[in-house]
Amino acid sequence: MNSKRITSNNIIKSMTLKEKIGQMTQLAPNLYNQHSEAVVYGALRNLNLDEKKIYTAGSILGIGSPTEMINLQKQYLKNSTHQVPLVFMADVIHGYKTIFPVPIALASSFNVDVARTAARISAVEAYTSGIHVVFSPMCDLTRDPRWGRVVEGFGEDVYLTGEMSKAMVEGYTNYGKLGKDAVACCIKHFAGYGAAEGGRDYNTVDMSRLSLFRDYLPAYKKALDGGADFIMTSFNTLDGIPSTINSFLLKDVLRDKWGSKAITIADYDALNQVINHGAAESQEEAALKGIEAGLDIEMASSVYMNKLESWVEKNVVSEEKINQVVSRLIDFKIKLGLFENPYSGADKEREELVSLSEEHLKMSKDTALESVVLLENNGVLPLKKDSKIALIGPFTKTRNFIGPWAWKGKHDIHSSLEEVFEESIIVVSDKNRFEDLTEEEISLIRQADVCLMALGEEDYLSGEAHSRSDISLPNNQEEFYKSIKKISKAVIPLIFGGRPLLLNGLKNADAMMMCWFLGSQSSEAIHDLIFGIKNPSGKLPMSFPRNVGQIPVYYNHFNTGRPYYEGQVEMYVSKYLDVKNTPLYPFGYGLSYSKFEYSNLKVSKERITDKDELIVSVIVSNKSDVLGGEAVQLYIRDYVSNVVRPVQELKSIKKIWLDANESKVVEFTLNIENLSYYNYQGNLTCESGKFAVMVGTSSVNTLNKEFHLVVE
């Protein structure tokens, strides 16, 4: 086709109604080729589609390789009655072949550049296989560590989740410059999916409009502002209506309030599942509710393909409405340049060249180094070069640290902990129980200067459909730790997993690191941190509870009418009888080998108006002789408001690096937007009054100042 004449209008005019509706369906490649190399994570159902219909589909979910993409596109264009190429979309969550830390770990870097880089490199690699759109980032706020998908998100804070999501979109899309080495984004899951009751996946979500607008929606909005082209609906209901057919979400919020033109797509089979929800009696009804609510594409179901046409024939749905949706989809294909080159990106040679390249692996290691959170350290870390190490626990010999949702990542090509610590190890064992250790192993553990215990959850214990009601360390690893603690000179648990875990029993460890799943360079990064070749700088993006009964426990809660203060003896206050209110490890917490001190917190004015900016400055000093990274965190509190505000709200982070004994002035600028809140209507509002600004090393360790805002 001559590029000048390619407009969605012209293309749509040449298409039949059936062909247009086909564009609104996304199918798995397995329907075209039984032997597809692609991995599909939902159950493949019989979709009741004939050959003719599958050659009208608009996009493909997952593709195994560049060759497979080229072949499928060719096969499709040969068999389809129109010449509108397929778009290929896939779950690239934290890397394509070079695997980066899982998103909850990326969030722990408290550094958006780290997330952006991870996305950038993932895009460069994914692009070579002909993937045009990635289903990432997941912008769902998560306050319940029982939910398996906390591993895919950025934790409990609205600001951090939003900033990380936006940075990833910028990285994938190369700041919107789609084309070579960039992919478009489908952000997910709209909306509130992270608030599934009891942390059980796919469960009901029931929340106030206030919490929805204030806590849950801003991250999706930021990601859209960052340039996401697609938005995926979530599996849950909201206000009793499945998100997939929820016109409040898809129209009132997305289109009207936010003015977004992003293409909406159902999650896997979710349009069909509205029948299970009890929101439609049949696929016919689901199709009607989907189109009326503003759902553009269905994924892995055939509700639109099989049932939408009849509504147009009956004049219940206008063809014009279908045209509007399809023009959005075709415009996107034009933007990708697919009509000029339907195979764009797919390039086997380049895939081999760039994937897992030295440069990409180095980037993966750099991100891993910033993603580890040092939870405890009595001075045992960093280890001296000549330390004799006992390395024990279930994660010592495995090479699989890539974590869930890394279907193109290989589990066995990276290094194990045993391999990277080889020169210092005097005993290694991957046994899971003290009773299974031999006399000789026990004796060597006693002799070692330190025992590194690689513990935690296997990758299959988190992720989609992998919720747990008990988030303690599996297989009684806590008991194992306690036995080792009795015999070893110093014990350092290295904790792997996709969620905050219960670590009370390990709090007396000599040192402890939360390693999450760090990706392709996990072992190398841990090695460098343990020996102090690098300095840990990660901070927790989610509170670690003391027990499951405390959940949800998050730092930005309300004060309540009967707040409890540490040490208070009053009975009728908001507390438990059997556990503290505070988490074991709070949001924003993480240690370093450097010793950072904060001083001289200043605000530029004691009274500002809504037109002013407030400059907040603090001196951060590294009072140690090692270079270190520190995520300087700024929180605010609005003391009095018509709608009560949380006791603390994170508003800014500056990650800085300080040389030994170096000091820096760190400056933040606050404006009316930072001080405002979203009300029930989803509008930013602010009232005059007293505020606190808190700057520090974690949510519980800050210097505080007050100022007044006057809204004129």
Q: By the criterion CB under 6 A, which residues form the site for ligand BGC? A: 41-42, 61, 91, 135, 188, 267-268, 464
Question: What is the C-alpha separation between 327 and 334, in angstroms, rounded?
Answer: 10
Comparing every residue's Cβ against ligand BGC, the nearest one is: 135
Q: What angle do CA 152, 158, 164 make, to 5 degrees?
A: 50
Looking up tokens 């397929």, which residue turns up? 86
Q: How far is the CB of 682 from ligand BGC (least distance, A)?
A: 25
Question: Which residue type does 699 have?
Answer: S
CA–CA separation, 103 vs 94, rounded Å?
A: 7
H helix runs in 43-110, sequence order: 51-54, 66-79, 103-108
- Residue 465 CB, shortest distance to ligand BGC, in Å, is 8
Catalytic residue, chosen from 144, 267, 296, 366, is 267
* AA identity, residue 602: K
Burial of 10 (0-12, 13-18, 19+ CB in 10 A): exposed
Contacts of 280 (CB under 8 A, 6+ apart): 245, 274, 286, 289
**Smallest distance from ligand BGC to CB 364, Å:** 22
| 174 DSSP 8-state letter | T
Name the DSSP letter for residue 149.
G
Identify which of residues 135 and 147 has a Cβ nearer to ligand BGC in the complex: 135
Using DSSP bridges, classify how beta strands 663-670 and 389-392 pair: parallel, antiparallel or unpaired. unpaired
Which of 188/527 has CB closer to ligand BGC? 188
Q: Which is nearer to ligand BGC, 23 or 26 (CB)?
A: 26
> Sign of torsion, CA 104 188 26 172?
negative
Tell which residue, 170, 173, 133, has the closest CA to residue 329.
133
Ramachandran angles phi, psi of 639, nearest 5° = -65, -45
- Buried/exposed 459-497: b ≥16 CB within 10 Å, e otherwise: bebbbbebbbeebbbbeebbebbeebbeebebbbbbbbb
Nearest to 175 by CA among 88, 116, 130: 116
Structure tokens at 570: 């009053």
Q: How far is CA 287 from the centre of its chain?
A: 30
Contact residues for 213 (Cβ-Cβ < 8 A; gap 6+): 678, 679, 680, 681, 682
Task: Assess contact for 374 and 533: CB atoms under 8 A.
Answer: no
C-beta of 62: minimal distance to ligand BGC in Å? 7
For 249-259, give one letter per residue: b (16+ CB within 10 A) or e.
bbeebbeeebe
In the bound complex, what is the minimum distance in angstroms from residue 292's beta carbon to ligand BGC? 23
At its nearest, how many Å lie between ligand BGC and the CB of residue 464? 5
Q: Nearest approach, Cβ of 299 to ligand BGC (angstroms)?
A: 7
User: How remote is the C-alpha of 459 from its chain's centroid?
Assistant: 16
From the CB of 202, what's the least distance to ligand BGC, in Å? 9
Strand partners, 705: 693
CB-nearer residue toward ligand BGC: 92 or 450: 92
Greatest distance between any 2 Cα atoms in the chain: 82
Close Cβ partners of 409 (under 8 Å, ≥ 6 residues apart): 95, 97, 99, 402, 519, 520
CB 191 within 8 A of CB 217: yes
- Rounded Cα–Cα distance for residues 314 and 180 (Å): 44
Which residues does 335 contact at the CB level (< 8 Å), separation at least 6? 178
Of the CA atoms within 13 Å of residue 131, those in its CB half-sphere come to 35
What Rg do the C-alpha atoms of the chain give, in angstroms?
Answer: 26
Q: Is 91 annotated as catalytic?
A: no
Could you tell me the smallest distance in angstroms from the CB atom of residue 242 to ligand BGC?
14
Residue positions annotated with a catalytic role? 267
